[in-house]
């Protein structure tokens, strides 16, 4: 104990306050309770009653402040009132609000107002540390929806850490969230992991709330980039100083944790730390930053169909110049950058099919034949594949493994193919006719001419597909030639057989 006068003054006020509050209760004043809903992971919904002692004290504060000991306690507390209020998440510098906060802390969760000697000593120790210690730890935490840790604790550096929620002393609401506020689809997958930031602060310093918000978003971005899985921050974070009272506050929404959980397996923690260190503060061009924002928007959507456009916009930002918007061009560049040589043709077609799916979602695309062709699970699979391609490109760009101008890199790789390329243009505006154009045989291809020829054909015919030379286009069947023109998704290029998994772009 550092200050006997302060201790005795606060104890004297607490004793008088306890006598007044207990007399109120014994003469019929009712202590109200609030029914709260809580939940453990995977367990049944639990309910408990929380006594509203703070409300009981506030309603009688006019009488409590008139006690003779209140003035003496306020004088002893003096300028320390502002620091005590600050560390408890409150504003002001007056002694009376600080004394009221001390009483509320003293009787937190109590059902009667008998003087709790042992608890008073703990509360006073916190007051004394606030006033006399040069600094003490301030902690800000947020629950991470969808994150599962197979390890108990992961130190991320810079004061950041991940911890399994059941091992924390944080309130149940901080760990498990508020079940009443969750969407029905999230009710069974409450978070059990916490992301924390700890800093040493002096009584004069504010709590690191703004810093924590930025750091939490940066970690979330790293988790989303590192590997797939539905992960998002809870909308409410919590803060406290030392072992003081936890205070909730709202933070910026990061969407929902859609899909399968994001699992950190045992032995992956070191690799995760290294990855977060690599991307922390990494320079990002405007197109990379914009595409990364689209990826995170998509990951936070409730539905895959809503996320598809976000992912495709991200790919366009990285791979299209904004002058053509070609389906074939985008698919080709994704394929040459993201797929092995034997998978490039299929990857190109999958991107084209994803673009057709986007038109369908927008209400301007395929008819029922589209879904009959690709199967019941294909839309979700397509979205997942496009998400994977965008994540891979962004991860390599931010880590410095790829040059920023991905369009130029992809076009150079396309022109360096070991075999001649066939460019086949299909006139979508004039019905299901096919125009084939082959570039002259070239042993030493000239990149600008090839790129310009592709773009010219796109402008003339509406769409261009590039295939390895020697692949014969399947002829149009008579019923296809006679049928009315469909959209791209309903009439795959070259009259492909949808029933043959080797010949079209549906999932296999």
Domain boundaries, the chain: 4-132, 136-278, 286-495
Residue 486: HSE in the Cβ half-sphere, 13 Å Cα cutoff = 19
Decide if pLDDT at 455 tops 80: no
Residue among 376, 326, 327 at smallest CA distance from 350? 327
Contacts of 454 (CB under 8 A, 6+ apart): 328, 329, 423, 464, 466
Residue 41 confidence class, pLDDT cut points 50, 70, 90: very low
Distance CA 138, CA 240 (A): 6
What are the start-end ranges of the H helices in 144-230?
Answer: 172-176, 209-226
pLDDT at residue 190, as a whole number: 56
The DSSP 8-state label assigned to residue 32 in this structure reads P
pLDDT at residue 338, as a whole number: 93
Decide if pLDDT at 45 tops 50: yes
Q: Which two tokens stand for residue 123?
A: 């509360």
Distance CA 144, CA 216 (A): 10
Distances (CA, A) of 179 to 173, 185, 261, 473: 9, 11, 18, 57
Residue 243 confidence class, pLDDT cut points 50, 70, 90: confident
**Contact 155/161 with Cβ under 8 angstroms?**
yes
CA 73 distance to own-chain centroid: 47
Distance CA 293, CA 275 (A): 19
Do β-strands 45-51 and 33-39 pair in parallel, antiparallel, or remain unpaired?
antiparallel
Decide if pLDDT at 126 tops 80: yes
The mean per-residue pLDDT over the stretch 200-215 comes to: 86
Do β-strands 247-250 and 232-241 pair in parallel, antiparallel, or remain unpaired?
antiparallel
Mean pLDDT, the chain, whole residue set: 77
Lowest mean pLDDT among 63-77, 92-106, 367-381, 404-418: 367-381
- What's the chain's Rg over C-alpha atoms? 32
The mean per-residue pLDDT over the stretch 120-125 comes to: 92
The mean per-residue pLDDT over the stretch 343-358 comes to: 88
Burial group, residue 206, by CB count within 10 angstroms (0-12, 13-18, 19+): exposed
**Contact 99/123 with Cβ under 8 angstroms?**
no
Decide if pLDDT at 64 tops 80: yes
Distance CA 6, CA 21 (A): 22
**Contact 420/441 with Cβ under 8 angstroms?**
yes
Distance CA 382, CA 390 (A): 13
Distance CA 268, CA 224 (A): 15
Q: Which residue has the higher pLDDT, 457 or 256?
A: 256
303-318 pLDDT tens trace: 888 999 999 999 999 9
Contacts of 386 (CB under 8 A, 6+ apart): 308, 311, 312, 315, 351, 354
Lowest mean pLDDT among 25-29, 170-174, 311-315: 170-174
Q: Which long-range contacts (CB under 8 A, 24 or more apart) does 279-285 make?
A: 279/221, 279/222, 279/225, 279/398, 279/399, 280/158, 280/218, 280/222, 282/398, 282/399, 282/400, 284/397, 284/398, 285/404
Distance CA 51, CA 266 (A): 41
User: Per-residue DSSP letters for 248-292?
Assistant: EEE--------SSBEEE-TT-HHHHHHHHHHHTT----HHHHHHH
255-264 pLDDT tens trace: 999 889 999 9
Residue 66 confidence class, pLDDT cut points 50, 70, 90: very high
Distance CA 282, CA 277 (A): 9
The DSSP 8-state label assigned to residue 166 in this structure reads G
**Contact 355/330 with Cβ under 8 angstroms?**
yes
Q: Which long-range contacts (CB under 8 A, 24 or more apart) does 247-254 make?
A: 247/88, 247/89, 248/173, 248/174, 249/89, 249/209, 251/142, 251/213, 251/216, 252/213, 252/217, 253/300, 254/217, 254/220, 254/296, 254/300
**Contact 239/209 with Cβ under 8 angstroms?**
yes
Decide if pLDDT at 420 tops 50: no
Distance CA 110, CA 242 (A): 22
Decide if pLDDT at 239 tops 80: yes
- Token pair 């002393």 is found at 169
pLDDT at residue 44, as a whole number: 52
If residue 331 lies in a helix (H) or strand (E), which one and from where to where?
A: helix 327-338
């Amino acid at each position: 104990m550092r200050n006997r006068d302060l201790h005795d003054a606060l104890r004297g006020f607490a004793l008088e306050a306890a006598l007044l509050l207990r007399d109120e209760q014994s003469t019929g004043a009712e202590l109200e309770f609030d029914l709260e809903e809580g939940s453990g992971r995977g367990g049944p919904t639990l309910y408990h009653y929380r006594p509203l002692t703070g409300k009981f004290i506030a309603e009688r504060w006019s009488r409590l402040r008139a006690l003779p000991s209140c003035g003496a306690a306020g004088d002893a507390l003096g300028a320390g009132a502002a620091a005590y209020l600050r560390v408890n998440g409150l504003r002001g510098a007056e002694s009376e609000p600080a004394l009221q906060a001390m009483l509320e802390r003293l009787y937190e969760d109590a059902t009667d107002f008998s003087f709790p000697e042992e608890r008073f000593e703990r509360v006073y120790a916190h007051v004394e540390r606030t006033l006399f210690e040069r600094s003490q730890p301030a902690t800000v935490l947020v629950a991470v929806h969808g994150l599962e840790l197979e390890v108990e604790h992961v130190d991320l550096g810079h004061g950041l850490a991940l911890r399994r929620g059941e091992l924390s002393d944080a309130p149940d609401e901080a760990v498990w969230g508020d079940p009443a506020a969750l969407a029905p689809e999230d009710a069974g997958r409450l978070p059990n992991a916490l992301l924390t930031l700890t800093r040493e602060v002096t009584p004069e310093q504010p709590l690191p709330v703004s810093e924590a918000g930025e750091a939490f978003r940066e970690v979330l971005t790293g988790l989303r980039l590192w590997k797939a899985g539905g992960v998002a921050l809870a909308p409410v974070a919590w803060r406290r100083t030392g072992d003081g009272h936890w205070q909730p506050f709202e933070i910026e929404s990061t969407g929902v944790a859609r899909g399968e959980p994001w699992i950190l397996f045992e032995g992956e923690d070191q690799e995760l730390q290294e990855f977060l260190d690599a991307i922390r503060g990494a320079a990002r061009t405007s197109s990379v930053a914009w595409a990364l924002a689209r990826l995170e928007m998509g990951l936070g959507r409730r539905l895959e169909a809503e996320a598809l456009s976000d992912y495709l916009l991200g790919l366009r930002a990285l791979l299209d110049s904004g002058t053509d918007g070609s389906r074939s061009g985008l698919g080709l560049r994704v394929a040459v950058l993201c797929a092995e040589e034997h998978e490039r043709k299929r990857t190109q077609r999958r991107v084209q099919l994803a673009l057709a799916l986007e038109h369908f979602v927008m209400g301007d695309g395929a008819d029922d034949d589209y879904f009959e062709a690709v199967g019941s699970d294909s839309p979700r699979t397509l979205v997942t594949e496009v998400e994977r391609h965008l994540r891979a490109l962004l991860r390599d760009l931010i880590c410095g493994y790829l040059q920023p101008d991905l369009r130029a890199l992809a076009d150079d790789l396309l022109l360096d193919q070991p075999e001649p390329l066939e460019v086949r243009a299909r006139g979508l505006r004039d019905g299901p006719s096919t125009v084939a154009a082959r570039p002259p045989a070239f042993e030493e291809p000239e990149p600008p001419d090839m790129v310009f020829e592709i773009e010219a054909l796109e402008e003339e015919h509406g769409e261009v597909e590039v295939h390895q030379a020697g692949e014969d286009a399947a002829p149009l069947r008579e019923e296809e030639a006679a049928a009315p023109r469909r959209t791209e998704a309903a009439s795959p290029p070259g009259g492909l057989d949808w029933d043959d998994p080797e010949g079209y772009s549906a999932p296999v």
